[in-house]
Amino acid sequence: MKPRTVGWRTVFHRRRTGAAMKLETDPMHAFGLRPSPRSCARWLGALVIALSWSAAAAGSKPGGHSGGGEGDATAPHFVAMAPLDVPIVEGDRADGRLKITLVLKAVDAAGASALETRLPECREAALAASIEFARLRASPSSPVDAQRLATDLSIALRPVDRAIAAVLLVEVSARRA
């Protein structure tokens, strides 16, 4: 038998009789890569059990609780900033607007309260970094590189207050003016 591949079907030609035998195969089944429905059900059941065990273990840790409360020392502390709206300048004209909503993650509760008092300075640094990003790397006709924007904002905001653990982007959009 001489195999010949045509699209998704494998056609075998018999040399003796000249008759063609068509065998419709899915390439994933042919190589044993696609699991059967029974094995999919087993994997799904194992995943559900593992997730329920991990959720139960997280809730039963000593000193830990599932709800976010005021007394938890390890709970993350966030400080929201007002949205930033900066122009996207290309050449000698403003082509669009870059709108950014961000949240600052503080190291601890004391850092969060210090961040709230220094919020105008943080906003000033974030605005300067956003204007620079919009001038160099943003366009209203292409997607915004959010990872690069978050890195630039982190670099600009960390010298203002060392209590900033991370800069989290909630919403980023670039629109035509």
pLDDT digit string, tens, across residues 53-86? 666 666 655 444 445 455 555 678 999 999 999 9
Q: Is residue 10 part of a domain?
A: yes
In this structure, are 93 and 150 located in the same domain?
Answer: yes
64 found inside a domain: no
Measured distance CA(98)–CA(85) in Å, rounded: 6
Say if residues 166 and 115 touch (Cβ distance below 8 Å): no
Token reading at 45: 């059941």
86, 158: one domain: yes
Residue 37, domain extent:
2-59
Task: Select from 111, 109, 145 the least CA-distant residue to 130.
Answer: 145
Tell me the backbone φ, ψ of residue 8, rounded to 5 degrees: -95, 0
pLDDT category of residue 10 using cuts at 50, 70 and 90? very low
Gap between the Cα atoms of 4 and 20, Å rounded: 11
Are residue 29 and residue 101 in the same domain, yes or no? Answer: no
Return the closest-CA partner of residue 111 out of 147, 83, 84, 75: 75
Residue 66: inside a domain, yes or no? no
In a domain, 72, yes or no: no
Per-residue confidence (pLDDT) for residue 59, from 0 to 100: 62
Q: pLDDT tens digits for 140-161? A: 999 999 999 999 999 999 999 9
Please report whether residue 70 resides in a domain.
no
Q: Does residue 102 form part of some domain?
A: yes
93 and 19 part of one domain: no
- Count up the domains in the chain and report the number: 2
Same domain, 101 and 155: yes
Contacts of residue 138, defined as CB under 8 A and 6 or more positions apart, other chains included, come to 88, 96, 98, 144, 174
16 and 98 inside one domain: no
- Most confident region among 35-39, 59-63, 68-72, 100-104 by mean pLDDT: 100-104
Mean pLDDT of the 26-39 span? 59
Q: How confident is the model at residue 100 (pLDDT cuts 50, 70, 90)?
A: very high
Q: What percent of the chain has pLDDT over 70?
A: 61
For residues 147 and 27, which has the higher predicted lDDT (pLDDT)? 147
φ, ψ of residue 46 to 5 degrees: the values are -65, -40
From CA 147, how far away is CA 166, in angstroms rounded? Answer: 12
At 120 the pLDDT is: 95
The backbone torsions φ and ψ at residue 33, rounded to the nearest 5 degrees and listed phi first, read -90, -25
The rounded mean pLDDT for the chain is 78
pLDDT value for 4: 55
CA pseudo-torsion sign 157, 103, 100, 145: positive
Note whether 41 and 85 are same-domain residues.
Answer: no
